[in-house]
Amino acid sequence: MALELFTKLPLGGVDRRSLVPLLASQGPTVARDDLAKARASITAQHAAIPSDSCVLLLGGSNGILRALAIQLLFGERVAVFAVHYDSEKLQIGTHHARAITEAANEAGVFASFVNDDATNPATIASVVEQLKGKFRCVHLVNGIAAGATKRYAEHGTAQVPDLDVAFDPVRQTPDFSAWDKIRKVGLVQVETASDQDIERTNKFMGRSTDPWADALAAAGLLIRGESLVAFADYEFEAKDPVYGMGPLAGAKILQRESLARIGRELGVRTTRLCYPPMNTTAIGAIPGGLLKFAGSAELMLRNGTYANLASLAASSIPAFRPDFRDEALYLDLAYKAVRRDFDALVADVDNDNLRDKLRTVIGHEGL
């Protein structure tokens, strides 16, 4: 059966007009409930971060960095300061941040967040000034995801297979809880990026670590040989028709070069936290992203290697330990092991065989 073209809509087509009253009425409760559920299963991973140190997180208010913040605060009892930029009325991120901050402070662990543009020099200066008065040492993790999900003009446009999935309108993540949430598999159009698209992607995802690292070092908060500077990386394949052929790839390459410069010039520990496709808001914006997540998760669930956000966050903690010196922490090995099987799984996918191909992942609890 030939796949039909469909339009990939933000948040799966949720009515934006309904979001304001919905988030206002349900956002705080959902955020608190989700946090309580996450805390119930947390175990310490022994980060060995001193009490006069803090982890500064950039971005990721509704993805892996949110999970990492929860692990650091409630599993490791490490201070966390987060900077992300969300709409107060239209996004769940600020509700998550408030719930986490309130619970951490009640538990006697420092937590704070700023809802502002992390690339704004004024934001950087203000946050660094606040950190100077409270901590001796800062570890920095960049998880900003704000890029053009397009292709470079030299590659032209393309059509790629993807899933049309309903989103949870409050949590704002793809809803794989039941088959009635999966509308169809089809094709989505991938456009070419403008110069403005490329520059914006490079600004947020390629060069955003540098000004923070330099400002923290100037303030004496990046300690040589102790502080960690890291970013959330994705080891794309060059043949990937979206990620590998557009600004997202270019920005990741810039970020890797930035990390090398920071380690070389500032004398701090640096590493790439390499993650697989994850069930987050961001994956839903990438053409082909939902099929890539669902298909790879299906295969990893079948062979017993799937790890959800909480598990990935816990597995990220070794990077913070003082003796960690690796160039990368590969949390994506299980995903890489099924890449070729994923290609085979989706090669002939259509709406007649979709239920069989995704028989394990749809309805699986704990994605």
List of domains in the chain: 10-357 (3.40.50.720)
As a whole number, mean pLDDT of residues 35-58 equals 97
Helix H or strand E segment including 138: strand 137-142
Range 90-98 average pLDDT = 95
Please give the pLDDT value at position 171.
96
pLDDT at 16 over 90: no
Whether pLDDT at 1 is above 80: no
Q: How confident is the model at residue 60 (pLDDT cuts 50, 70, 90)?
A: confident
Average pLDDT of the residues in 36-58: 97
pLDDT score of 332: 98
Contact 17, 49 (CB under 8 A): no
Q: What is the DSSP letter of 83?
A: E
Closest Cα to residue 363, out of 99, 117, 178? 178
Averaged pLDDT of the chain? 96
pLDDT (0 to 100) of residue 61: 84
Three-state secondary-structure class, residue 29: helix
Q: Which residues contact 73 (CB under 8 A, 6 or more apart)?
A: 80, 100, 104, 107, 109, 111
Residue 41: burial class (beta carbons within 10 Å; 0-12, 13-18, 19+): exposed
How many angstroms separate the CA atoms of 12 and 164, rounded? 7
Render pLDDT for 246-271 as a digit per residue (tens, 0 to 9): 999 999 999 999 999 999 999 999 99
Mode of pairing for the β-strands spanning 228-233 and 269-274 = parallel
Residue 85 has pLDDT above 80, yes or no: yes
> Would the pTM count as exceeding 0.85?
yes
Q: Considering only 9-13, 176-180, 225-229, which range has the smallest mean pLDDT?
A: 9-13
pLDDT higher than threshold 90 for residue 223: yes
**Cα Rg for the chain, rounded, in angstroms?**
20
